[in-house]
Structure 1
Amino acid sequence: MDLNLVRVFVAVAETRSLTAAAARLYVTQPAVSQALAKLRRDLDDPLFQRSGREMVPTPLALSVYPGFRDAIAGIDRTVDAVHRFDPASSQRLFRIALSELGEIGWIPAIHRAVAERAPGMRLEVVPMDVAELPEWLGRGSVDLAVTPAPVPGEFAQTVLKSQAYGVAVSQRHPLARGEVGLADYLAAEHVRVASDSGAANVDAALRRVAAPPPPRVSINHFAALPPLLAGRSGLVATVPDTIAAGWAESWRLVVRPLPFEMAPVDVRLYRRSTTQHAAALDWLFATVAGAIRGSSGQFGVIHGDAVAAG
């Protein structure tokens, strides 16, 4: 079988688009269509059927895709080993999906690590959407993703950190003194951050003993959380405890243990399953993992002063 036909098949399977596949392969869309027509004859199957703007794979296409993908990836890695990927000369753009906290805490370390060895490589941070991650990683819309949320699918991954959660409150709040009981926790007025990709883990742990209380206030950004808690709002928040402890150094906050059992959450780095630029992605995956593991995070940049914290 013509290897170029296999490349076309893999590109269409991953992008679900003839136009996007052509752009990835640096060929015209008619060339992709012609290659796909030949492959359909060779395999005696339509392989893809148009549904709206998407090329939906047939059962046969789904069954042969993993083998074709792995074959292309193996060939590309072999060729890359001969030519040796050189990060110093790379001009590639890579996209990393990060939550707001991930962007605040780790993008400085990631940028430093990449810029030291690959000064021409470009990075783009994509706002985290946990529900879309399987699609993004499966099609290659993003190259890497960092999240504590489990991502369904067969994606290469590695654990970066284990993160516990705690209850953050103002120093003036009644829950700031003594042990936080479950009844008091459930009765408190909670604030929830929409961009917290670990919130589902908290809810799952809490559901083992009680129904999660509805939030009194919902906000979009973690940056708004410390001043909201430190003021006279009477709100509480369930957040990563080490991050909240950092905020407590400059905001009038305290962090208390959760009143229910919750195992630390593993923060994982995921990589896309698509085949393009395998050697460069191998390098970036290892570099980002090392940068985050070696960083304590820059979460303290959300800090207060004597006026704002009061």
Structure 2
Amino acid sequence: MNLFHENQHLDLGFFPHIDINLYPLFIAVFEHHSMSQAADILCISQSAASHAIQRLRRQMNDDLFIRSGQKMRPTPFAEQIYPVIKTALLSLQNVLKQQYSFEPSMVGSLKIAVHDEIEPIIFPKLIQHFQTLNLDIQFLSIKLNRKTVEADLATQQIDFAIDLEQDLGAKLQFQTLVSDQFMLCTRQPNMDLKRYLASPHIGVSSRRTGVLIEDLYLNKQQLSRQIFLRCQHYSTALQILQQHADAILTIPNSILNHLEVPEHLNIFDLPISLPQMNMGMYWHQNLNGNLRHHFLKEQIKLIFA
């Protein structure tokens, strides 16, 4: 058997010369010791089965089966390759079955790419929901990388990405889960637009550079603000607010509700109208016909309905 494990390199140029239909026939003849029964199982004529076995014999350079009375007996080489071929066909069958037949118990794992700040909004609800389905699922929260997310979804390194609605790739599709709005936190006792624009601001982003989404909205109205600190986490920003009497933090309401806000900080509606933000899940369009993916997508939509 070592012969079949020595070479781990996949030679793709080899396969155009291979007729995969010959291998289920090989398995059927091997297991039933009959050409006619194998032909019946595969819904082909006995003549077609005989011609196919002849092609496989030439390909393998071995007789594969020897007639003994009414039965087809495998050669030593056929006995050697049988478990290898059957394992390969079973693996291929399992892959294809994910497209055409699916049971929730087949899920196994759920891998979601998400930013640190969004994780507390998503995962507690996610796990609570799937626990009610009594499914044995391993949950994986993976740090979202917008530069590689399209490739990660296409290769199923992740099942879904959850992020704000934006252009992450031409082949990605998006479903809104939560519509959110900005609020502001500050030690200042009151707030209006003039004070908001004149005050020092804390910006929060996981990116090193780039305009924050709230500034994009402000810029469209020919307005701007001064950011004196840009950090990665809203929890850090709330701590800085306690030390800075005039600073302002603009924060999505859904994230604000999951953080512990010190009592002496005031929360205000924004003194200017900004568009709502849509947070939702992304997936690759090539998976639209995958039953496992469809099941997971529908369950996640139910959680946030």
TM range (shorter): 0.5 to 0.7
Distance 1:276 1:32 in 2: 27
The residue aligned with 1:148 is: 164
Distance 2:205 2:216 in 1: 16
Q: What secondary structure, in the 3-state scheme, does the structure 2 residue paired with 1:262 have?
A: coil
Task: Return closer, same or farther for 1:124/1:248 CA change in 2, 3 Å cut-off.
Answer: closer
Whether the 8 Å contact between 2:174 and 2:283 is mirrored in structure 1 is yes
Deviation of 1:275 (Å): 4.2
Task: Return closer, same or farther for 1:142/1:209 CA change in 2, 3 Å cut-off.
Answer: same
Picking from 100, 103, 109, the partner of 1:79 is: 100
Deviation of 1:115 (Å): 3.3
Aligned length: 219
Indicate whether 1:189 and 2:200 are aligned.
yes
Q: What secondary structure, in the 3-state scheme, does the structure 2 residue paired with 1:120 have?
A: coil
Whether the 8 Å contact between 2:198 and 2:226 is mirrored in structure 1 is no
The residue aligned with 2:291 is: 279
Give the gaps of 5 or more residues in structure 2: 1-6, 19-95
Indicate whether 1:208 and 2:220 are aligned.
yes
Deviation string, structure 1 residues 125-177 (Cα, Å, up to 9, x no partner):
1112334333333343321011113133232322112111122112xx2xx31
Distance 1:100 1:79 in 2: 35
Q: What secondary structure, in the 3-state scheme, does the structure 2 residue paired with 1:225 have?
A: helix
The residue aligned with 1:116 is: 132
Distance 1:235 1:108 in 2: 31
Q: Which has the higher contact order (CA 8 A, sep 6+)?
A: 1
- Give the TM-score normalised by the residue count of structure 2: 0.61
Deviation of 1:222 (Å): 2.3
Task: Return closer, same or farther for 1:37/1:202 CA change in 2, 3 Å cut-off.
Answer: farther
Deviation string, structure 1 residues 70-116 (Cα, Å, up to 9, x no partner):
xxxxx766621xxxx2223542x332011222211220111122233
Residues 252-271 of structure 1: matches in 2 within 5 Å?
252-271=264-283
The residue aligned with 1:158 is: 175
- Give the TM-score normalised by the residue count of structure 1: 0.60
Task: Return closer, same or farther for 1:87/1:246 CA change in 2, 3 Å cut-off.
Answer: closer
Larger radius of gyration: 2
Whether the 8 Å contact between 2:114 and 2:162 is mirrored in structure 1 is yes
Picking from 180, 185, 192, the partner of 1:168 is: 185
The residue aligned with 2:63 is: none
Aligned alpha-carbon RMSD (Å): 3.3
Whether the 8 Å contact between 1:226 and 1:251 is mirrored in structure 2 is no
Give the gaps of 5 or more residues in structure 1: 1-26, 39-74, 295-310
Deviation string, structure 1 residues 160-219 (Cα, Å, up to 9, x no partner):
12111122112xx2xx31x421x43232111122238xx743122111133543521122
Percent identical across equivalent pairs?
A: 13
Q: What secondary structure, in the 3-state scheme, does the structure 2 residue paired with 1:153 have?
A: coil
Residues 9-48 of structure 1: matches in 2 within 5 Å?
29-35=9-15
What residue identity is the alignment partner of 1:103?
Answer: E
Distance 1:108 1:145 in 2: 16
Deviation string, structure 1 residues 255-298 (Cα, Å, up to 9, x no partner):
2232333111111211233449922221111122222x15xxxx
Task: Return closer, same or farther for 1:250/1:230 CA change in 2, 3 Å cut-off.
Answer: same
Residues 89-108 of structure 1: matches in 2 within 5 Å?
89-91=106-108, 93-108=109-124
